[in-house]
Chain A
Amino acid sequence: MSATSTATVPARLDDAAIARRQRRVRTIDKVGLVFTVLIVVGAILWAFPLYWGVVTSLKPESDVVKAGSALYPEHLTFDAYTYALFGTKLGLWYINSLATSIATTVIVVAMSAGAGYAISQLDFPGRRILWWMILASFMVPIQALIVNHYVLFNQFKAIPVIGPWMTINTLTAVVGPQLLAPVTVMIYKQFFDSVPREMKEAAVVDGANDFQLLFGIYLPMNWGITTALAIITFIAAWNNFLWPFLAISDEDKMNITVGITQVSDAFGVKYARDLATAILAGLPVAVIYLIFQRRVTQAIMLSAGIKG
């Protein structure tokens, strides 16, 4: 960098000025090094709680509560994990979390792609009203609707035949309010808007209908966005706490995020076990993030309104 900037220095600068500048460049680099060291130390501090949680979960309980416990597992053991997996309902909660998160993801993505396409490409009465409704729902805090969602799902009990499958204390109830994801519709519309018109016109001349256009051109062209949206919808559904906590009181139907905070208290304070269950609960989303880092960050920025 210093080579290019020296080249652009006007000839009228005298030697003294150049020497002054070079001194400044050197001190700036020293300051820069300090910043680099600081940020790396900051990152280590930031990661420490996670590290400490993992390390503790790998120790025997007797080591955990020892004064001046070591910063690494001296007696490495997976007892806490064996207990979490086989001594608790963790497996069941995992299945519940997987089922509700996958259902939420599939329905949200399919519904949003369809609605996004219709609003972006089709002309029909009520289109503008629907678009405003989506923008409006973007502003509504779902937390303000918890009371009425609870009442609503409780009323579903009265529906003949399917009622018992969708009332409070069912996995359907957990999925329900999570389907409100206006941002995904907005992002799909935005991306479908920018698909070149010529591509559509060429396909229409060849006799393609709208469904062929959607599945043959619009979705394949935006495959990356679909993956990104699916990943963050899944992560958000997995991590959701408030609604699954309200909707389920039956231990066997709890999501993992609710189960580990509501039930584990019963077996007294066992630090390694508590942490092992927590780490197992966070593992799927952490792994998904580490594999799909770029997609996750892209989707997060899109939902914040920044086209990444």
Chain B
Amino acid sequence: MAIMKSKRAELATAAVLMAPFIIIYGVLFIYPTIKMVQVSFTDAPLIGDGQFNGIDNFVRLWKDRLFSTSVWNTLYFVLLSVIPSTIIALFLAMGVNRLKGWLQSIVLACFFLPYILPVSVVYRIWAWILDKDFGIAQVLLAPFNGGTNINVFRDLPLFMPAAALLTVWWLIGFNMLLYIAGLRNISTEIYEAASLDGAGRWTQFWNITWPLIWPVTVLVLTIQLILQLKIFDQVYLFSRGGRVDATSTMVQYIYKQAFQLNHGGVGAAASLVLFLVIVIFSVLQFQLLRTRGGEK
């Protein structure tokens, strides 16, 4: 009897504690996800119902040059931002790790502070630095252009590399943080033993640091990959007033179809594609985390 009562009390407690979570996730996660799948098979506008039209939207995506441009731009941006930000972060983390005391704190803060700032601030600062007329970076850029200033975000081949550059500047602190934690887990005894055996710096890096830090590298790569596939903010802000379509990314394509062209169905279909791509990478990441957790 007492056990029955406590069981019922436990259930009631659980219901009270879980209720906000269940309501919020039901309304804002489950329902919109189901709706996304459903709407992607209709010709619905942004607001209002549409007719079921089979896989028309997906055929349309397949044929739409803007969609393939957006996919390629997204992948290009991922390539330009994820790999450099991972590699540079490792070297910077090794450098920071050598320092001690207040110097280490200050140096780390210099690299980390940009990561804390909102994208709008990053956008304003870099728009000023790269400004065509008065940007300080023109001192370095103009000589490569025969002495005339370059309008970086209006010069198509330069757009994505520039967007990737400031993204690396913005987000590197996060990667460094994970690497610094990883480097601290490598025991100094291994390095001492290696240097006793006469191993040089480079040998130590290739034979000790690189293999032992590899799990962190994989983690950083997957987190950044998933994050950058969802690129919108910087690219959108810098492309305004320029050739928006030529630099469009996947989320921008969704935005354009649904919010600017009022094609809710096509927007949902593109969302579903992005959704599936990211879920696949996330499952991989989750598996990696689980195997890492299992090693402990």
Mark interface residues in A62-74 (1 if CB within 8 Å of B CB, else 0): 0011000100000
Name the 9 nearest CB pairs between A and B, nearest first: A39-B95, A139-B282, A278-B124, A148-B32, A43-B110, A282-B121, A239-B118, A124-B14, A114-B17
Q: A8 touching B196 by the CB < 8 A rule? A: yes
A304 within 8 A of B: yes
A209 within 8 A of B: yes
Please classify the interface of chain B as helix (H, G, I), strand (E, B), loop, or mixed, using the class held by over half of its residues.
helix
Q: A147 touching B192 by the CB < 8 A rule? A: no
Min CB gap B226→A, angstroms: 8
Q: CA–CA, A123 to B119, complex, Å?
A: 43
A16 within 8 A of B: no
A199 within 8 A of B: no
Contacts of A36 in B (CB 8 A): 95, 98-99
Min CB gap A71→B, angstroms: 9
Q: A148 touching B268 by the CB < 8 A rule? A: yes
Min CB gap B98→A, angstroms: 6
Q: A300 touching B113 by the CB < 8 A rule? A: no
Residue of B9, B24, B177 touching A301 (CB-CB under 8 A):
B177
Residue of B28, B136, B267, B275 touching A176 (CB-CB under 8 A):
B28
Min CB gap B148→A, angstroms: 14
Q: CA–CA, A46 to B292, complex, Å?
A: 32
Q: CA–CA, A281 to B121, complex, Å?
A: 7
Sort chain A's interface into a size bin: 35 or more
Min CB gap B172→A, angstroms: 8
Sort chain B's interface into a size bin: 35 or more
Q: CA–CA, A36 to B92, complex, Å?
A: 10
Q: A242 touching B109 by the CB < 8 A rule? A: no
Q: CA–CA, A65 to B135, complex, Å?
A: 9
Min CB gap A278→B, angstroms: 4
9 CB-based A-B contacts, threshold 8 Å: A139-B278, A140-B275, A140-B279, A141-B229, A271-B131, A274-B128, A297-B177, A300-B177, A301-B178
B258 within 8 A of A: yes
Mark interface residues in B40-61 (1 if CB within 8 Å of A CB, else 0): 0000001100000000000000
Q: B20 touching A5 by the CB < 8 A rule? A: no
Mark interface residues in A277-298 (1 if CB within 8 Å of B CB, else 0): 1110110011011100100110
Q: B111 touching A130 by the CB < 8 A rule? A: no
B207 within 8 A of A: no
Min CB gap A91→B, angstroms: 17
Q: A5 touching B117 by the CB < 8 A rule? A: no
